[in-house]
Amino acid sequence: MYLTGFADEASTGLDGQIKATLELGWSNIESRAIDGVNIHDISDEAFEIACAKLDEAQVKVNCFGSTICNWGKQITDPFDITIEEIERTIPRMQRLDSKLIRIMSYAVLKDRGPEDQMEEERFKRLREVVKRFNDAGITPVHENCMNYGGMGYTYTQKLVENVPGLRLVFDTGNPVFSDDRNKPAPYPKQSAWEFYANVKKHIEYIHIKDGTWDFENAACNFMYCGEGDGDVKKIMKDLIDSGYDGGISIEPHLKAVFHETDGPSASEQAKYDAYVEYGIRMMAMIKELGGKL
């Protein structure tokens, strides 16, 4: 088992991301954005500078936190958009020797019910996405986020059943604020443990965030790992007892939320401190539960 994280929540720039990683004693980053731009979209020059900094610091990019097929992309968009992203991404992953890439299954169509989500088109596209990455020696892992597969564990199960080679990254915090489309409307929020238990055998990788849902204000209050309703301790204990030996990637959302651009923003120092503290607490939890790093 090894620890990593979305270090763009520690610092906007790569220098700060590397510094936070090294302060925690880690050697991996799940790279998502550098200076606010996803790593598969930054310029070639900026990418080469990033590679040089990572090489010098001896920090690896264990996973690309891509935006491929994510909640910002519609299944009704041309598939060429996805293919172009893949073609830009693969050479960069090979340059960095990164073996995992986070993908999703396109945004939920808000004007349609859960059983009218163009699922066959999603399956068709993801089969091509997975094949292209697998052919390049890369494993795509689907996240249970704000997408088709994140509507409930049965939707993720459908993806796995219909997309050969697809593996999962399970995020402990996403169920806390996600409607459970397995149940009748008005939809309750999901149970992280129930989701995890039903997809466990397909999990390749873990994202850790935690929080509680504020029904009155329709917002998620993000918290340190183990303090919310994400069943983090229960899930981590089960992973440890099951002999899980993959990555644990922190995504605190305490001072920075990647997909939220409005509202007050925390200082760079506050983001850095929260990220490092989150990492320290995550390591302590794993040790407390009998895990080895």
pLDDT tens figures, 147-183 = 999 999 999 999 999 999 999 999 999 999 999 999 9
Residue 181 and residue 281: Cα distance in Å, rounded?
Answer: 33
Dihedral through CA 19, CA 24, CA 28, CA 33, nearest 10?
Answer: -50
Is residue 230 within 8 Å of residue 173, measured between CB atoms?
A: yes
pLDDT band for position 66 (cuts 50, 70, 90): very high
pLDDT of residue 257: 64
Residue 248 and residue 256: Cα distance in Å, rounded?
Answer: 19
The percentage of the chain sitting over the pLDDT mark of 70, rounded to a whole number, equals 97
Give the residue-averaged pLDDT of 257-262. 50
Output the CA angle 3-7-13, nearest 5 degrees.
Answer: 150
Q: Helix and strand tally (H, E) in the chain?
A: 9, 12
Judge if pTM exceeds 0.75.
yes
Please, what's the b/e burial string for 127-148 (b: 16 or more CB within 10 A of its CB; e: otherwise)? eebbebbeeeebbbbbbbbbbb
Residue, of 129 and 185, whose pLDDT is higher: 129
- Output the CA–CA distances (angstroms, integers) from residue 171 to 10, 141, 236, in the order listed: 19, 11, 12
Give the residue-averaged pLDDT of 83-100. 97
- The radius of gyration of the chain's CA atoms, rounded to the nearest angstrom, is 18
pLDDT band for position 249 (cuts 50, 70, 90): very high
pLDDT band for position 256 (cuts 50, 70, 90): low
pLDDT of residue 77: 96
CA atoms within 13 A on the CB side of 108: 20
Q: Is the pLDDT of residue 187 over 90?
A: yes
pLDDT digits (tens, 9 = 90+) for 43-62: 999 999 999 999 999 999 99
Take residue 51 and report the two structure tokens written for it.
């590679």
Q: Which residues pair with 94 in a beta bridge?
A: none
- Location of structure tokens 């995992």: 100
What does pLDDT average to over the chain?
A: 95
Q: Is the pLDDT of residue 261 over 60?
A: no
- Mind listing the domains of the chain with CATH numbers? 2-288 (3.20.20.150)
The percentage of the chain sitting over the pLDDT mark of 90, rounded to a whole number, equals 94
Residue 147 and residue 102: Cα distance in Å, rounded?
Answer: 13
